[in-house]
Chain A
Amino acid sequence: MANVESSAVASSAQPTMSESTPSPSNTPKKRGVPEGLWLKCPACGASVYKKEVEQRLNVCPKCEHHFYVSAPDRINQVIDEGTFEPMNEQLRSTDPLEFSDRKRYVERLVGEQKRTGLTDAVVTGVGMVRARRVSIAVTDSAFIMGSMGSVVGERLTRLIEHSTKQNLPLIIISASGGGARMHEGILSLMQMAKVSAALARYDKAGGLFISVLTNPTMGGVAASFASLGDLCFAEPKALIGFAGPRTIKATIGIELPEGFQTSEFFLEHGFIDRIVERKNLKTEIARAIDYCGK
């Protein structure tokens, strides 16, 4: 399902270095400092040197806040250099509902493609993790909230089927605040069943699936493949959940507890195997694959 919260999630998760561009109203421009060299960490408020953040895989050097990472960057962080082969990039969303809100969906798609350089909200393919061959998919929260429509569902399903045939370990790293994509309506909801069914077959064939939850993973993505890992890792302090915090607040009318719907919250309640810092993710994945004999 689409996550009702997406807009709120967007602002907290959104990305890129747009967090870096301080609005003129609240941050006076420092004289002599070229724009874009410094970032303001949304968690601790410190001004941090952008290069240093990038060198630390987009993690704040002051407070360890994990910034947004694009899908291609994430693949570079996890997959051995030069070994990634993308798959099914030729798939493109159509506009089956002829959906239009304040903007036509077809135009929105073109805009998102130009802005992000991605063809849709997921990148899938095969590559090596420390010389072990794996399948990998990464959703990108910058592309329509990382939401799942027909293309995301189809790419994931094809990747899972490929992993089943080739007996490859499967890694899916989720950053999807939007859940199932509203603009493709019921077809998006059905992708949840389609991908989960493919995972059930993969599981039956003995496949190892490592699901990594990053900020944010909500709605229909959380309520399908992201929760079905044999192993479920999460980055620190990621927003994870089914319903968005605003919806919950509106329904029950009380303040939400501190730390509600974070990785730590779900670890505490027993739904996550390990919280893994970004710098350790590759090592931890390789280790898990070793233990599971894949």
Chain B
Amino acid sequence: MAGPGLDFEVEIADLESRINTLQRQTDRTTPADDELRSLRLELTQKLRDVYSSLDPWQTVQVARHKNRPYTKDYLNLAFDDFVELHGDKHYGDDRAILTGFAKLDRFKVMVIGHQKGRTFKERAACHFGCAHPEGYRKAMAKMKMAEKYKLPLVCFIDTPGAYPGVGAEERGQAQVIAESLFLMSQLKTPIICVVIGEGGSGGAIGIGVGDKVAIMQHAYYSVISPEGCAGILWKSHEHAPKAAAALKFTSDNLKRLGVVDDVLDEPLGGAHRDHHQMAARMKTYLSKCLAELEHQPMDQLLDNRYDKFRRIGEFIEQAE
């Protein structure tokens, strides 16, 4: 269920709570059954209406929803096994990035994903999904391992951004993101990246260079957070909804701009309403991509990856 409410979901939440109450009655009468049926219909219709026309700022709210499935949820629901591998062998173990071996269908893979945490305690431990340099170093160490043992890489992107702090700067936040882009562009194993919630700027692309880049329907992927952009260009964070619209960072725009290959449809009312269904779709998608990429000759794979990013950008060649 949806949990803590979003302001555009008031009517939906109301319907959901009325349905819940009715469902809990053990001695339902026939009229109550009828009411339940009609409420369910109404709910479906309402969800369809609201979710077919989310504005960009509403999309951000959905992408940040506390019940949205995180990397760990996909590991539990879509994968058959997960062996977590901690640590960057250098400084520490950053909980904002989760890495390890995993199995999906017949494929053995390496998973790297941002993790936000659901309870307050978890969220604090994960820095709300904002990774430090040790997180990216850990990711890079596991990427090299994936390359060595011929394991395809699956990256789940879900971060408001890389952590802005004194320690992060001291330990080379800019350096590690740059190195990760450099490494991923040449890594000799298939890479699939999926933006599952927030694709927050450098912290997101730091694990986002792949042969397949996909985004979930109600996720977003942006050069800067809408609040950050509003603060600079409109001089106040309150203008975040305006910035969200201007930045064109929703899944449909990203597809149009050639930044993502695929958009993964979410269950009606968003992935936070049905983790199981979303995980099943994720599994199907990943499995299809892994099968598609597994037999590509390595040179061709790397050339295609290079060309994929090489093509991105819009400009004109003006006659002098």
Q: Which A residues fall within an 8 A CB radius of B?
A: 1-2, 4, 6-7, 89-94, 96-97, 99-102, 149-151, 153-154, 157, 180-182, 184-194, 196-201, 203-204, 219-220, 222-228, 240-244, 247-248, 251-252, 256-257, 260-261, 265, 269-271
Contact = CB atoms under 8 A, between A and B. Distances in A.
Contacts of A190: 205, 259, 309, 312-313
A193 B157 CA distance: 15
Given A90-B319, A94-B314, A97-B247, A1 B170 contact: no
B79 interface: no
B186 A204 contact: yes
Nearest to A8: B232
B316 interface: yes
Interface stretch (B17-25, B31-39, B140-148, B158-166): B158-166
B179 A4 contact: no
Interface string B184-211: 1110000000000000111111101100
Contacts of A203: 182
Interface stretch (B90-98, B113-121, B220-228, B275-283): B220-228
A189 B317 contact: no
Interface in B298-320: 305-306, 309-310, 312-320
A97 B222 CA distance: 12
A239 B208 CA distance: 27
Interface in B233-256: 233-234, 246-249, 253-254
B231 interface: yes
A294 B320 CA distance: 34
A150 B314 contact: yes
A269 B171 contact: yes
Given A96-B257, A182-B229, A243-B173, A157 B178 contact: no
B174 A1 contact: no
B223 A224 contact: no
Given A251-B165, A257-B166, A197 B181 contact: yes
B55 to A, nearest CB: 16
A2 B185 contact: no
A219 B202 CA distance: 8
A90 B317 contact: yes
A270 B165 CA distance: 18
Contact of B222 (A189, A240, A256): A189
A203 B223 CA distance: 27
Given A2-B232, A197-B182, 17 more contacts: A1-B200, A97-B247, A150-B313, A150-B314, A153-B313, A182-B224, A184-B223, A185-B247, A187-B314, A200-B186, A222-B174, A223-B177, A224-B177, A242-B202, A252-B166, A260-B166, A269-B170
B168 interface: yes
A244 to B, nearest CB: 8
